Structure 1
Amino acid sequence: MAENKLIRMDNMGIVVESLDTVISFFSEIGLKLEGRATVEGEWAGRITGLGSQRVEIAMMVTPDGHNRLELSRFVNPPVISDHRTAPVNALGYLRAMFTVENLDEMVARLSKQGAQLVGEVVQYENSYRLCYIRGAEGLLIGLAEELGK
């Protein structure tokens, strides 16, 4: 029997209230807007299990082109739950981690947009400086700076 092999991870998705606000936030981190579209109809609802739906999406891509973040704003059906204020140890909680060149400069820039540190910036051995921030719409984002590069 042939072994089934993973080909790649295409994207990670986050449901948001305002595409424009969150696109601006992730653009500040360094992602580029690859495109926007509306996904709707019975076929899409069969994938998600929500029935007929209308969702505005924006695809953001990392500078290296290898990773994408799909932002979704549900027009119909309406959002029924909000997990953004859950603690970081809540089951199923999502967080995206990005490696940046200068962590302090990035935190300062994102703070000007309202982002807040969750804890503090810490150094892990001689490898990384790391932190969690709550950015646009309270989304949890990890930032890492590689040391010695």
Structure 2
Amino acid sequence: MAIKLENVGIAVRDLEATIAFFTDLGLTVVGRDTVSGEWTDTAVGLDGNHAKIAMLQTPDGYGQLELFEYIHPKAIETKPTRPNDIGMHRVAFSVDDIDQALEIAAKHGCYPLRGVATYEDVYKLTYVRGPSGILVMFAEKLIKD
């Protein structure tokens, strides 16, 4: 059986604000829609499923995020995910300039949880709390190929 990662789906509080965050980082919106009906109820497992969605593509053409803002049923607010919570953890991006990525994130009110760390002189890494509490990791490779 062949398998490949299609996308990572993230429910968000404010679709437009989240799109702005990720497009400022360099992702591109490749599709938008409002979905509902029996097929979405079946696929997602929620009766009356109705959501606004946007598909975003990374610049390299491989990674995709599917963002969705629920219209019905009402979105459930939970505490933001912590790095040690079980379940969906974070979205990680390789960046060529972590300082620039952090400047862009800061324009959206998103800052590192603690700071920027260096892993064995190979990577600079940090987690930021993105829109809707999404944990986003930036990793800058220090040893260039």
TM-score band, normalised by the shorter chain? Answer: over 0.9
Q: Does 1:11 align with 2:10?
A: no
Q: Counterpart of 1:30? A: 26
> CA deviation digits over 1:89-120, x for unaligned, max 9?
11113310001111012112211220111122
**Secondary structure of the corresponding residue to residue 86 of structure 1:** coil
Q: Does 1:130 align with 2:114?
A: no
Q: Counterpart of 2:51? A: 55
Moved runs in structure 1, 4+ residues, more than 6 A? none
Q: Does 1:76 align with 2:80?
A: no
- Distance, in Å, in 2 between the alignment partners of 1:137 and 1:86 is 10
1:52 counterpart letter in structure 2? G
Once the 2 structures are TM-superposed, how far is the Cα of residue 126 of structure 1 from its aligned partner? 2.4
- Distance, in Å, in 2 between the alignment partners of 1:116 and 1:44 is 35
Q: Counterpart of 2:104? A: 109
- Distance, in Å, in 2 between the alignment partners of 1:38 and 1:118 is 33
Q: Does 1:146 align with 2:117?
A: no
**Secondary structure of the corresponding residue to residue 34 of structure 1:** strand
Work out the number of aligned pairs and report it.
Answer: 144
- Distance, in Å, in 2 between the alignment partners of 1:133 and 1:80 is 22
Could you tell me whether the CA contact under 8 Å between 2:126 and 2:137 is conserved in 1? yes
Could you tell me whether the CA contact under 8 Å between 2:81 and 2:135 is conserved in 1? no
> CA deviation digits over 1:21-66, x for unaligned, max 9?
0000001111111110011101111111112211110000000111
- Distance, in Å, in 1 between the alignment partners of 2:9 and 2:115 is 26
Q: Counterpart of 2:36? A: 40
- Distance, in Å, in 2 between the alignment partners of 1:80 and 1:5 is 35
Structure 1: segments with no counterpart, 5+ residues: none
1:138 counterpart letter in structure 2? G
Structure 2: segments with no counterpart, 5+ residues: none
Once the 2 structures are TM-superposed, how far is the Cα of residue 133 of structure 1 from its aligned partner? 0.4
- Distance, in Å, in 2 between the alignment partners of 1:45 and 1:134 is 30
Once the 2 structures are TM-superposed, how far is the Cα of residue 73 of structure 1 from its aligned partner? 0.6
Give the number of the structure whose alpha-carbon radius of gyration is greater: 1
- Distance, in Å, in 1 between the alignment partners of 2:52 and 2:81 is 25
Root-mean-square deviation (CA, aligned residues, Å) is: 1.3
- Report the TM-score when normalising by structure 1: 0.91
> CA deviation digits over 1:65-91, x for unaligned, max 9?
1110000011011113424x2322111
